[in-house]
Structure 1
């Protein structure tokens, strides 16, 4: 029931955002031609792979062109029609002279075919759209780019790997690794799966592969269908992107509910051609959604400059490698030459034994710069605590738009069901910048257990703001046998105020994920040869 409520809340948020985006563009006739401010917009059908008809919007500058115009192809997001990008496309056509073709992916709305989840047919469709645009508009094949949000981002990256005509892409709120998105650290992202499946059923027709994925998910056989995700992951096509020399811009939200950002930082680091990474507060698609409508937006404006530089040959001052991050609790963008430079140094803290420091204090361990003696500490599994990752889409959007974080009262986190460690207050404040990493020995009483690690900024009164989190599920092990947990949390950028602490909480239930914690104890431990540590990246 709780999961259904969370999915409904997320769907409501998406409907509100998309409604504000799409309403103005929907007023014209579907197949009519409209002209405004030197740009024409017309609806059409484009033959995709296998003759499947794809509904599209073509946005083109008016007047004659002295030479073929540069082309931008924009596949629409999951469960979203082709009018998604009309506002941004009109600006690109008017200001820079692009021909833009935005189309509804196969299987959704009035595009024919079935949903293939960025499979071979979707890539073939995108290539057919390029062919059609070169033959039927004023665009040429020599300067081709692709852009998209979410589903459109994934299709853009996969198409660029398959087709060397694509010179540059801007992939926003997309994925690099679908396995890591749907099954992070062997933990089912249930809220993300329900959101995608629900929107897909509402707006489209499932193909065989998607039906197989859904059946495996609902029957708790997710691992059996992961081979379908592996072949749809741009991270497995990086060699082709590098060989093609594609200029790749990646943009994501720190708190993306569907595609967590570490996969994007990994992909960015592996790219060898021109590349740019942008990370901002918010949830899935929220940092870019209003820019798609043509409203002022730093990410879309940077994407326009990216295309101008790599398609039109304009000097926009964008280096071959660059990273821009906007802190979760800040507004200023910070720039670096690469992802490694986002972290100035790493502060490695030792987890010490949780203990009750005085009669009224709950058990809390230290995050200490010094090694302590060996220790073991147990909690009960299977019960939720106040620590959680927030409501899918809602919490991240509140962080992005209003800087309202997911909060918790750390003193009230039940120490029977969670283990807690804290630093001393930072006298001068600090900046957490990069990817925190937790290493600890865990001994479950059962064969499988899910663990959820949360890193909080905690003020003097115990109120915490979520900085990062990560799930991990230990499956099919021998009960009572220690296992090493070594996991990176989500990348983050957070400005820690003066006098605040960093607090690590680990429990066994989170409403966002399908957990495998059915009861029994979980024992955490640290020893001289296997110390428990939290590596904190500092800016």
Structure 2
């Protein structure tokens, strides 16, 4: 049954390619569009749109190679490719990644064959489409982003990269702190089956995942993670631009920030509101878009030598997740180096707090413990991938909670002081505490909320942590680095920390009937460190 839509797609794209061909020789700048079959690694046919500039001399012209996203075909970037060819004279190849749609082969999960495919596409474009071997760039969204970075580590011809909504560390993305990102994995598996043909690695990974053996999936991650190839990136010195959404539900931003900080060559980091692939979505179709406009400027400078000033700008650009313009910094450290430390106090009840609630105080509080039940969900959660982040990014509608609804029997809650002036959380908050689980395996979820005077909370950031192989009844200290974010906290609002043990986004390991006890022993107080702008 799949052959019919694939044949229709091939016919439509071939017809589109023939209709869009413009005369090759023209006085004014223009472009031609052709639908091609490019031999990938081992001769595997890769279907591609090849856009060539006209009216700009015989060439060779700077070359951009755009691998498609997971589950998407080569139509993904055609609008942006037309603009790049027309405005800046690039040869652009937008191709469907191996194993998807009408390209041949099986899905390789950004493995060695996918990198080899990208290199074969570069070879072909240099030989058959007038691409300049000395001026090669790669860009992509999601899967295309990961393949672009991995190819830049393997091929010195790639002089510039724009990586959008991608990953640097596959394990840290899908298995953060030993916690399976359930919604992300299910979405990727489903799209793989719907739009492509899973290869042996993906089939085995799915079998292990379904059997509950996610640890067996992890060995395929390092080879597919550019975080393990930073030395090659730094040796090749491509100009690396990373653009990423704060609430990416598939590839959280922290692992890319870590990679960015280790890159020594020309680099740029842009973090903005939205979920996976949403900030750059419309730009790929050719509509005005600040991420793609910066991508064009990045390539214009590093491939065409245009003095557009992008090399003199601060490289770190952060856009608040709840509204406001871009803020730029000379480094990630400069953006996040200022911190405030709050100490967790014992949750109690009182006239002003009828529910069991702790505070975030200015000085250490030790000698207390507080126990909650595990395995029961509360009103606090991280939302739904591809929905919550889009609502936040496009409409400034946060993942919310009304704090009185959070069941204190199943969650620890600590309220911070009300701010007398507006402040900005700018970076990755860190929680340090001592926990005593009653079970060998327990999953904790730390949430940081912006809460107004009526108890209405907006989720700022979160992070899971699964304790595996713990000794029941034995205390241990834990550190949870929440995902980085830029968030404006209005005057009169306060920060509230919630820690519970169930979140539908993840495969949690907490057991009903068990408990976890928080503590703040002498000499090791519990604290929450908040980076501020």
- Deviation readout 1:361-391 (Å, 9 max, x if unpaired): 2111111111123110000000000000001
Q: 1:281 aligns with which of 273, 276, 281?
A: 273
Match of 1:384 in 2: 377
Match of 2:169 in 1: 177
Match of 2:310, SS? coil
* Correspondences of 1:108-257 after superposition (within 5 Å): 108-257=100-249
- Deviation readout 1:12-51 (Å, 9 max, x if unpaired): xxxxxxxxxxx9x967715525146812111010000011
Cα distance in 1, alignment partners of residues 241 and 142 from structure 2: 14
Asked if 1:442 is matched to 2:435, the reply is yes
* Correspondences of 1:511-530 after superposition (within 5 Å): 511-519=504-512, 520-530=514-524
Moved over 4 A (4+): 25-28
- Deviation readout 1:257-292 (Å, 9 max, x if unpaired): 000000111111000000000001000000000010
Q: 2:48 aligns with which of 43, 56, 60?
A: 56
Cα distance in 1, alignment partners of residues 258 and 75 from structure 2: 32
Report if the CA contact (8 A) 1:450-1:471 is conserved: yes
Cα distance in 2, alignment partners of residues 431 and 248 from structure 1: 27
Match of 2:298 in 1: 306
- Quote how far apart the aligned CAs of 1:411 are: 1.5
Match of 1:70 in 2: 62
* 1:26/1:459 CA distance change after superposition, 3 Å: farther
Cα distance in 2, alignment partners of residues 454 and 78 from structure 1: 30
Cα distance in 1, alignment partners of residues 436 and 382 from structure 2: 24
- Quote how far apart the aligned CAs of 1:140 are: 1.4
Cα distance in 1, alignment partners of residues 66 and 521 from structure 2: 53
Match of 1:357 in 2: 350
- Contiguous gaps of at least 5 residues in structure 1: 1-22
Q: TM-score, normalised by structure 2?
A: 0.95
- Quote how far apart the aligned CAs of 1:319 are: 2.9
Match of 2:532 in 1: 538
Match of 1:90 in 2: 82
- Quote how far apart the aligned CAs of 1:397 are: 0.5
Match of 2:400 in 1: 407
Match of 1:323 in 2: 316
Cα distance in 2, alignment partners of residues 239 and 319 from structure 1: 23
Report if the CA contact (8 A) 1:175-1:263 is conserved: yes
Match of 2:3 in 1: none
* Correspondences of 1:425-440 after superposition (within 5 Å): 425-440=418-433
- Deviation readout 1:477-498 (Å, 9 max, x if unpaired): 2111112211210000000000
Match of 1:508 in 2: 501
* 1:307/1:359 CA distance change after superposition, 3 Å: closer
Report if the CA contact (8 A) 1:73-1:147 is conserved: yes
Cα distance in 2, alignment partners of residues 76 and 513 from structure 1: 27
Match of 2:366 in 1: 373
Report if the CA contact (8 A) 1:33-1:40 is conserved: no
Report the count of equivalent residues.
Answer: 516
Match of 1:399, SS? helix
Match of 2:387 in 1: 394
Cα distance in 2, alignment partners of residues 227 and 393 from structure 1: 27
